[in-house]
Homo-oligomer: A and B are copies of this chain.
Amino acid sequence: MKIAVLPGDGIGTEIVAEAVKVLHALDLDFEMETALVGGAAYEAFGHPLPEATLKLAQEADAVLFGAVGDWKFDQLERHLRPEQAILGLRKSLGLFANFRPAICYEQLVGASSLKPELVAGLDILIIRELTGDIYFGQPRGRRTAVDGHFPGAEEAFDTMRYSRPEIERIAHVAFQAARQRSKKVTSVDKANVLETFQFWKDVVTEVHQQYPDVELEHMYVDNAAMQLVKAPKKFDVVVTGNMFGDILSDEASMLTGSIGMLPSASLNAKNQGLYEPSHGSAPDIAGQGVANPLATILSAAMMLRFSLQQPEAADRIESAVQSVLAQGLRTTDIFAPGTTKVGTMEMGDAVVAAL
């Protein structure tokens, strides 16, 4: 088994180092190889996703990813910016199924901006389609408008699109995930306005015929954005497209107050996967040794479970994380009076000790 380790930019290197430390401590038989990605790769090789990095990722069973991006790359042309690396990896590896849990950790309920009773025990799984939609749809670009409100004016455009098999496969993923949980799926669309999402709703409804034991609810994206704030615990598995999933999964993870704790997995049809924390590269605190490595460590656990067939090792990591939280150890982002503030490395060491 081979893991491609891509730390990236900002706090990426610090948090990935802790996850790698935890993986080593498990004493399992896999190979890890590290490569540059994002801004770091641009600075070294002139491209955020160099050929060698892509090749390593393609040949590995799983990719452990940190985070990419920094203000200093904002002025680059779009195709050279750090985030193109993550879009390129998703596309090249065909990582169509993105799992983003939004869990509110018992010990961190107070960190949520929502009232405690609304988030205590929260455990949502957002399943976002990750290789289709308006993210990759062609044609796109700039041109002179031939119709619309201002014919003759300069305009920019993108294409939203979903094909039947793309919707079918992500719907299967969602219904199967729901079977392991409370057997309820909320499919989020905008069928009242978009052709793409009327089709989405139709196809999800068809696939649902094969899962009579799972309850299916349809919800418009604007309503979902509201219900997440109003009563997040009403959700269990949420499945949606790439664009809506981007927005709703970030909203949901911030609701928990635990965004520094939330892992994510992006899988393809062969269960190859890319694993990364839900948070970003946080250039403002990079290099200070204060970032929270737990989301990345928990991403490594997801990797062991989904791509490396090591569910017991995954369980061990997750229990170790529970145990460091129970010991009262906290990085700055989740610190509260009465707990013990620790740095990135201390937190990683504590997880290793708890294994």
**Min CB–CB distance A274 → chain B (angstroms):** 17
- CB contact list, A228-244 vs B, under 8 A: 228-231, 243-244
A10-18, A19-27, A149-157, A291-299 - interface stretch? A149-157
Q: Are B250 and A223 in contact (CB under 8 A)?
A: yes
A212 at the binding interface (Cβ < 8 Å): no
Contacts of A192 in B (CB 8 A): 78, 81, 83
Q: Are A147 and B138 in contact (CB under 8 A)?
A: yes
- CB contact list, A200-247 vs B, under 8 A: 200, 221-223, 225-226, 228-231, 243-244, 246-247
A339 at the binding interface (Cβ < 8 Å): no
Q: Are B156 and A161 in contact (CB under 8 A)?
A: yes
A196 at the binding interface (Cβ < 8 Å): yes
Q: List 6 A-B contacts (CB under 8 A).
A: A114-B114, A145-B161, A155-B162, A156-B199, A160-B160, A225-B250
Interface residues of chain A, those whose CB is within 8 Å of chain B, are 78, 81, 83, 87, 94, 113-115, 118, 131-132, 134-138, 140-142, 145, 147-150, 153-166, 190-196, 198-200, 221-223, 225-226, 228-231, 243-244, 246-251, 253-255, 259
